[in-house]
Amino acid sequence: MKAGTTGAQVRELQHRLQQLAWFEGKITGTYGRDTTAAVRGYQAKRGLPTSGEVDQKTWDSLLERTKKPTRDQMYNILRPGPALLKEGSTGATVRDLQARLKQIGWFSGKVTETYGPSTAKAVKDFQTKRGIPVTGEVDQRTFDRLKAMTRQPTHEELNNLQPKVDAPRLDPRCMAGRALCISKSANRLTWVVDGKVQTSMSVRFGSELTPTREGSFQVNFKSRDHVSTLYHTKMPFAMFFSGGQAVHYSADFAARGYNGASHGCVNVRNYDGIAALFDQVHPGDKVIVHR
What are the b/e assignments for 183-211, b being 16+ CB within 10 Å?
Answer: bbeeeebbbbeeeeeeebbbbbbbeeeee
- List the domains of the chain with CATH numbers: 8-74 (1.10.101.10), 92-158 (1.10.101), 167-290 (2.40.440.10)
Cβ contacts of residue 209 below 8 Å, gap of 6+? none
| Residues 79-103, mean pLDDT to the nearest whole number | 95
Higher-confidence residue of 23 and 86: namely 86
What radius of gyration, in Å, describes the C-alpha atoms of the chain? 21
Cβ contacts of residue 125 below 8 Å, gap of 6+? 106
Phi-psi region of 218 (alpha: psi -120 to 50; beta: other; left: phi over 0): beta
Positions marked active-site: 248, 265
Which CA distances in Å does 163 have to 105, 157, 196?
16, 7, 16
What's the whole-number average pLDDT of the chain?
92
| Residues 87-116, mean pLDDT to the nearest whole number | 94
Among residues of the chain, what percentage have pLDDT more than 90? 72
**Number of residues assigned to the chain:** 291
pLDDT of 164 reads 58
pLDDT of 168 reads 44
- If pLDDT is split at 50, 70 and 90, which confidence band does 167 have? very low
pLDDT of 256 reads 81
Tens of pLDDT along 200-230? Answer: 999 999 998 899 999 999 999 999 999 988 8
Tens of pLDDT along 105-153? Answer: 789 889 999 999 999 999 999 999 888 999 999 999 999 989 877 888 8
Helix and strand counts by DSSP (H, E) for the chain: 10, 9
Higher-confidence residue of 229 and 179: namely 179
